[in-house]
Every structure is written in structure tokens, then in C-alpha cells.
Amino acid sequence: MKSSSTADIKVGAIIHNWVVANNGGSDVIRLDRRTNLWGIVKQNLDTLPNDYRIIQDRSEYIAVELLDVRQHKTYNRAADREIYINELYRCYISEAGQAAIRRYLENQIRAAFRIYMISRYSDGQDEQIRHAIGSFLSDFDLPINNQIIARLSKDWYRYRHKNTEKYEIPIFF
């Protein structure tokens, strides 16, 4: 069953660009019930706050399509109890939930970056790290600047030294 209601999440410009690049040009994520991201969303659904305003500038926001969950109950950590969810009324993701979703998507980008870098070096190509990072950023339509390149090169350096014997490809479910 498809639902037309969505919840907005502030994730930042880089994650927004990542989602748009990997989602066919759309900033709306359509979830499956069996994904971890849907579990995070479902745990953090809340009613709209009184001071909620419609977002005009969507450059740092993504939307998550809410699935039909009227017949299901879930455990809400903030309320410390099980609640029945109706996405008609619970169509807002709390600040803690937005931070959890942002961390989840950052980890997905980091895992994809490491897989990309492993594949570059497993081919026997002797590229400089900065050039490989630049090609990763351009392949996924992410902004290229010195701060992002320095951050990713630091992550790659730490990952390489942590896994000196063999690069492990992360598996995410």
C-alpha cells in the first residue's frame, strides 16, 4: 500500500545531494518495511508541533514517504510506551529522529565511499587519493571543495590504517 504523506527531514546539503543523485533526481525516499531506515522513521514519528511551518527552501531537506501503519503499534522511546501509529496524525519526525536519520545516511555515504575507494585501489590503478576522492564526489554529484576532500581523505587514511591486511567491504542491510 502506498501512502501520499511524507515527513521532512533536515539533513544538510551534502546528504541532500547524495539522496537526489541516488534516487533518480528526487528528494523523496520511498522506503520498504524491511529496511533499517523505516525502523528509525517509525520510532520517531510524532504529531506536528504548534510552531511548525511549511518549508520553502528545500536545499537541505529530504522527504520520507510514510507507509500505511494504522494497524501496527511500535515502541516510542520518548513516551516510554507502545503506541499505535496513524500516519495521518503522526507525520512529523522529532529532532532526535532527524539526527538519527542524518547519522544513518552519513554512515551509508561513508560505506559507499569506502567501497568506491577499495574498488579504485583493487584494480591496480595508482591514483592519488585526492584525485580518487574528487572523482567519487563528481560521480555522485556532490560539491567539491577542500574541506570535504580533507574530511574524506582523513576518513580513508584512518580506514586504511585500521584495516592494513585486507580491506573489508562493509555490508549493510
pLDDT digits (tens, 9 = 90+) for 103-138: 999 999 999 999 898 887 654 454 578 888 988 999
> For residues 128 and 66, which has the higher predicted lDDT (pLDDT)?
66
CB 156 within 8 A of CB 114: yes
CB 105 within 8 A of CB 15: yes
Domain closes at, from 67, 87, 102: 102
Q: Are residues 91 and 41 in the same domain?
A: yes
* Residue 70 pLDDT: 61
Among 89, 107, 81, smallest CA distance to 18 is for: 107
Q: Are residues 11 and 93 in the same domain?
A: yes
Average pLDDT, the chain: 81
Among 126, 125, 122, 124, smallest CA distance to 168 is for: 122
The amino acid at 147? Q
Encode pLDDT of 44-55 as tens digits.
888 888 887 877
Q: Are residues 43 and 55 in the same domain?
A: yes
For residue 24, name the pLDDT band (cuts at 50, 70, 90): confident
> How many folded domains does the chain comprise?
2
Measured between alpha carbons, how far is residue 19 from residues 25, 52, 101, 126 in Å?
8, 24, 12, 30
Domain that holds residue 59: 6-102
Q: Are residues 81 and 31 in the same domain?
A: yes
pTM for the predicted model, two decimal places: 0.79
* Residue 2 pLDDT: 46
> For residues 127 and 146, which has the higher predicted lDDT (pLDDT)?
146
Residue 81 has pLDDT above 80, yes or no: no
* Residue 9 pLDDT: 92
Asked, for residue 167, whether it belongs to a domain, the answer is no
For residue 87, name the pLDDT band (cuts at 50, 70, 90): low
Domain closes at, from 85, 102, 119: 102
Compute how many other C-beta atoms are within 10 angstroms of the C-beta atom of residue 125: 9
